[in-house]
């Protein structure tokens, strides 16, 4: 097994990480256990009682975090005419159509999120094989295929997080920076868990929130009691 460094060991020396913690205490523990010289991301992993192999149990959506993610997100918008002007005014980093498609086909990928108006999806489809594997394809289920470009740009810039359950039934997400502090991170975590609960598939039987763990980029992970998390969110 790989050995952790001295700073890591010092931070968890007196902690029992096998104990299920309430959400509030777990968030504080992650912040206190952080030791990296850079501003670490607060991460969450949730094991859900779903089988992603069945389409009706696929948990996928997005949530706007109350305090954002702490990251600068570069937004590219495929639009034309009035919607192109609207996107620029709303703060999109790149806006266009065929010229952007050609640029991306040439290997350019200097953006983090894409938005497209419905009438541009035929154009965007030309680069589906490039954007799709990188989770950059505009998606109506995530609200990124829309004529309301100003609002979606505002949400993305303000801290909109997309998520999708993986093959093992686990949802991963970064919910802010350690520098946010306990209170703001707790708000973000509660908003995320609340969204996950809202998305429970009707076909999912048994326990839905099976396990929850939180950590920072370099720090230790802590287990959260799913029942206490559900109660706190409600």
- Determine the pLDDT at residue 5: 60
Cα 58 → chain centroid: 16
User: How much is the pTM?
Assistant: 0.81
- Determine the pLDDT at residue 9: 55
- Determine the pLDDT at residue 232: 83
The pLDDT profile of the chain, 234 residues, written as one tens digit per residue, is 455 565 555 555 556 667 899 999 999 999 998 888 999 999 999 999 999 999 999 999 999 999 999 988 999 999 999 999 999 999 999 999 999 999 999 999 999 999 999 999 999 999 999 999 998 999 998 899 999 999 999 999 988 999 999 999 999 999 999 999 999 999 999 999 999 999 999 988 889 999 999 999 988 899 999 998 998 876
Which residues lie across from 164 on neighbouring strands?
Answer: 60
Q: Which residues contact 203 (CB under 8 A, 6 or more apart)?
A: 54, 56, 57
Q: Which CATH class is domain 75-158?
A: alpha beta
- Determine the pLDDT at residue 30: 94
- Apex 111 CA angle, 101 and 52, nearest 5: 90
Q: Which CATH number fits domain 16-69+160-233: 3.30.420.10, 3.30.190.20, 3.40.718.10, 3.40.50.10490?
A: 3.30.190.20
Residue (of 94, 52, 62, 48) closest to 213 by Cα position: 48
- Determine the pLDDT at residue 178: 96
Domain with CATH 3.30.190.20 in the chain: 16-69+160-233
- Determine the pLDDT at residue 1: 44
- Determine the pLDDT at residue 19: 85
DSSP assignment string, 118-156: GGGHHHHGGGHHHHGGGT-S--GGGT-BSS-HHHHHHHH
Which residues lie across from 96 on neighbouring strands?
Answer: 78
CA pair distance 13, 50, nearest whole angstrom: 36
Half-sphere exposure of 200 (CA within 13 A, CB side): 16
Domain with CATH 3.40.50.790 in the chain: 75-158
Residue (of 43, 127, 130, 113) closest to 77 by Cα position: 113
- Determine the pLDDT at residue 10: 55
Torsion sign over Cα 81, 74, 178, 221: positive
- What is the three-class DSSP state of 87? helix
Answer yes or no: are the C-beta atoms of 214 and 222 closer than 8 Å. yes
């Amino acid at each position: 097994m790989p050995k952790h460094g001295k700073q890591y060991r010092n931070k968890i020396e007196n902690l029992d990480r096998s104990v299920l913690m309430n959400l509030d205490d777990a968030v504080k523990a992650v912040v206190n256990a952080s030791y990296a010289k850079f501003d670490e991301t607060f991460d969450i992993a949730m094991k859900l009682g779903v089988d992603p192999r069945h389409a009706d149990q696929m948990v996928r959506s997005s949530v706007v975090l109350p305090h954002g993610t702490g990251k600068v997100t570069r937004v590219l918008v495929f639009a034309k005419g009035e919607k192109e002007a609207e996107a620029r005014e709303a703060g999109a980093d790149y806006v266009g159509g065929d010229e952007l498609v050609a640029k991306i086909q040439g290997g350019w990928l200097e953006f983090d999120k894409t938005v497209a108006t419905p009438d541009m999806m035929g154009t965007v489809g030309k680069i589906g094989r490039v954007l799709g594997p990188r989770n950059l394809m505009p998606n109506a289920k995530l609200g990124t295929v829309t004529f309301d470009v100003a609002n979606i740009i505002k949400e993305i810039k303000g801290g909109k997080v997309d998520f999708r359950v993986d093959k093992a039934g686990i949802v991963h997400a970064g919910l802010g920076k350690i520098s946010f502090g306990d209170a703001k991170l707790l708000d973000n975590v509660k908003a995320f868990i609340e969204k996950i609960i809202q998305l429970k598939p009707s076909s999912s039987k048994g326990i839905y929130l099976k396990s929850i763990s939180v950590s920072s980029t370099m720090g230790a992970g802590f287990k959260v009691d799913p029942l206490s998390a559900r109660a706190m969110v409600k």
